[in-house]
């Protein structure tokens, strides 16, 4: 009776496993760029390789624990001390598995590093604690900070239920807007300390380091609203500088760009010390090392 209950519960858990492994709240998102999907594929491949090895190795361990017990009268085989043959076997097989993993990984890596032929270049600057974006040659630049609703709720003992806030900690006042199906190059640097720009759906994570310009790229093929966060501890409010990228149609992007350029022109004509120009003057020079 009890056994049957346990078995059916176990069956339920096992049946749920595949869903478990692919559901995006438990697993890496497949993403919306070719590179991200390749990375997701690599991740799942190495995961299943690990599962297969685990089943084999843990299987032998569990079998030994169950079968070779003194209480069951097992007598130890004192002659089994070493075997050069099996040592070679269990060295060579892992080598082959590793080679089979390293080849596709190397290919993806080469692809990820190829930042040539980008259509748009955006300079990304990490600040304590916000992001600065500058669309190079397009005259658009702005800061992107945590949305006020999240900022209010995240204060110590604010009394605001985070569940009542839309996209708590993952919403910004001004998102990055990029066109779909367009290769976008990011040039990343830090203004004060090291930050790291992570967008899981693009499989892009690159450190924004003072004195360095790092490169990364993505080409999103699905219109949508994508969120990420800073992933290098950068001080007190490290947890509160999210990243939001809106991937829009090329037409919507053209409209957005025109509106931004218009607004920037008006702002710089009006006052010279606006936040956007401050972003420019604060941004460090592309120091070489």
Partner 1 sequence: MAHADTHDHHDHDHKPAGIGRWLFATNHKDIGTMYMLFALVMFFLGGAMALGIRLELFKPGMQWFDPGFYNSLVTNHALIMIFGAVMPAWVGLANWMIPLQVGAPDMALPRMNNYSFWILPFAFTLLISSFFTAGGAPAGGWTLYPPLSLQAGDSFPLTIFAIHMMGISSIMGAINVIVTIMNMRAPGMTLLKLPLFCWTWLITAYLLIAVMPVLAGAVTMLLTDHYFGTSFFNPAGGGDPVMFQHIFWFFGHPEVYILILPAFGIVSEIIPTFARKPLFGYDAMVYATASIAFLSFIVWAHHMFTVGMPLAGQMFFMMSTMLIAIPTGVKVFNWTATMWKGSMTFEPPMLFAIAFLFLFTIGGFSGLMLAIAPADFQYQDTYFVVAHFHYVLVPGAVFAIMAGVYYWLPKWTGHMYNMTLAKWHFWMSTISVNVLFFPQHFLGLAGMPRRIPDYSTQFTDWNMVSSIGGFVFGFSQLLFVVLIWQCARGGAKATDKVWDGLMTGLEWTIPSPAPYHSFTEAPDLTGTPDSHH
Report the residue from 68, 136, 254, 262 that binds partner 1 according to the rule CB under 8 A: 68
Q: Which is nearer to partner 1, 129 or 253 (CB)?
A: 129
Span near partner 1 by CB under 8 A; candidates 6-14, 78-86, 174-182, 254-262 = 78-86
C-alpha 184/C-alpha 199 separation (Å) is: 13
- φ, ψ for residue 128 (rounded to 5)? -80, 105
Fill in the DSSP letter of residue 169. Answer: T
> How far apart, in whole angstroms, are the C-alpha atoms of residue 128 and residue 263?
26
Site string for partner 1, 248-287 (x = CB under 8 A): ------------------------------------x--x
Where do the H-state alpha helices sit in 114-219? 148-153
What's the chain's length in residues? 289
Minimum distance from CB of 99 to partner 1 (Å)? 9
Q: Select the span of 6-14, 79-87, 132-140, 259-267 touching partner 1 (CB under 8 A).
A: 79-87
Size of the site for partner 1 (CB under 8 A): 97
Q: For residue 112, what are the contacts with CB-CB under 8 A and spacing of at least 6?
A: 35, 203, 216
Rounded least distance, CB 155 to partner 1, Å? 7
Q: Does 109 bind partner 1 (CB under 8 A)?
A: yes
230, with CB counted inside 10 A (0-12, 13-18, 19+), is buried
- Which of residues 140 and 146 has its CB atom nearest to partner 1 in the complex? 146
């Amino acid at each position: 009776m009890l056994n049957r209950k346990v078995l059916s519960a176990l069956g339920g858990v096992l049946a749920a496993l595949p869903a478990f492994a692919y559901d995006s709240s438990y697993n890496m998102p497949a993403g919306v760029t070719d590179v991200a999907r390749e990375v997701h594929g690599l991740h799942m491949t190495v995961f299943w390789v690990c599962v297969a090895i685990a089943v084999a190795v843990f299987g032998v361990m569990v079998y030994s624990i169950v079968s070779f017990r003194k209480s069951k009268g097992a007598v130890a085989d004192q002659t089994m001390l070493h075997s050069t043959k099996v040592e070679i076997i269990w060295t060579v097989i892992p080598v082959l598995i590793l080679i089979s993993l390293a080849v596709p990984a190397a290919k993806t890596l080469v692809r990820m590093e190829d930042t040539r032929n980008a259509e748009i270049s955006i300079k990304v600057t990490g600040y304590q604690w916000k992001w600065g974006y500058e669309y190079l040659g397009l005259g658009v630049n702005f800061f992107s900070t945590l949305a006020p609703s999240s900022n209010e709720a995240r204060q110590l003992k604010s009394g605001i239920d985070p569940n009542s806030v839309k996209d708590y900690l993952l919403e910004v006042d001004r998102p990055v807007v990029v066109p779909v199906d367009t290769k976008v190059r990011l040039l990343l640097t830090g203004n004060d300390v090291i930050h790291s720009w992570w967008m899981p759906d693009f499989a892009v994570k690159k450190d924004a380091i003072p004195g360095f310009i790092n490169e990364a790229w993505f080409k999103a093929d699905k219109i949508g609203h994508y969120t990420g966060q800073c992933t290098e501890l950068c001080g007190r409010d490290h947890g509160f500088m999210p990243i939001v990228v809106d991937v829009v149609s090329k037409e919507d992007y053209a409209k957005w760009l025109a509106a931004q350029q218009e607004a920037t022109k008006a702002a710089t004509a009006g006052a010279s010390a606006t936040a956007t120009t401050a972003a420019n003057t604060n941004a460090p020079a592309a120091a070489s090392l």
